[in-house]
Chain A
């Protein structure tokens, strides 16, 4: 059974810092890994999707890497801003048919101005 773990559970940093969020999964037979952002009372916003054949994806100040063999992914946020404060969720697509996602519990990020 696939399990996804995110470390740390919460993180508080001053504005401008570069930071790394970690995600690990127990079964390397994944089809993709997705990073989402969730704001309080809102739905999830897709940030990055890394297919199983890829090593990393970049979007603006965000960079996500994937190491399938070790069951790990990291989300790197450069030059953090207060607007980046949210919960960041990692999810792996457990099987191709249906894009079934298994989620981690998330990392709550607070960026202080």
Chain B
């Protein structure tokens, strides 16, 4: 069984469109993340939710809006897509334990490759 699953795996769309990426984890974790991997392969955090509460919100255009309906799901909606949004988007999860995340590794999904034409 896949621990962190993202859909779709590939997404090709035109500039100006609105699209969503869905993520679900079955690990029982209470913290979920969105990371972006650009063409140079650098991974950067975008958002993090803990028990449906937004706890990390990096400098990301407000066209990107995360939504967490419950602690097992974290979706990413992108409005008015631009060419520069083309990247691989990874969802991840970890568990808050022992009063922190210090000993909790991240578990990643397989990524969604977004191509904006």
Contacts and interface: CB of A to CB of B under 8 A. Distances in A.
A26 to B, nearest CB: 16
A98 B106 contact: no
Interface stretch (B12-20, B79-87, B108-116): B108-116
A76 interface: no
Main secondary structure of the interface of B (DSSP, over half): strand
Contact of B50 (A31, A32, A36, A98): A98
Interface of B: 4, 31, 33, 35, 40-45, 48, 50, 55-56, 90, 92, 94, 100-111
Contacts of A96: 100-102
A99 B106 CA distance: 9
Interface of A: 31-32, 34, 36, 41-46, 49, 51-52, 87, 89, 91, 93, 96-101, 103, 105-106
24 contacts: A31-B100, A31-B102, A34-B105, A34-B106, A36-B106, A36-B108, A41-B110, A42-B110, A42-B111, A43-B4, A43-B109, A43-B110, A44-B90, A44-B108, A45-B108, A46-B105, A46-B107, A52-B102, A91-B43, A93-B102, A96-B101, A97-B101, A100-B56, A101-B106
A98 B44 CA distance: 14
A112 to B, nearest CB: 22
Contacts, number: 72
B113 to A, nearest CB: 8
Contact of B103 (A41, A49, A91, A100): A49
Nearest to B101: A99
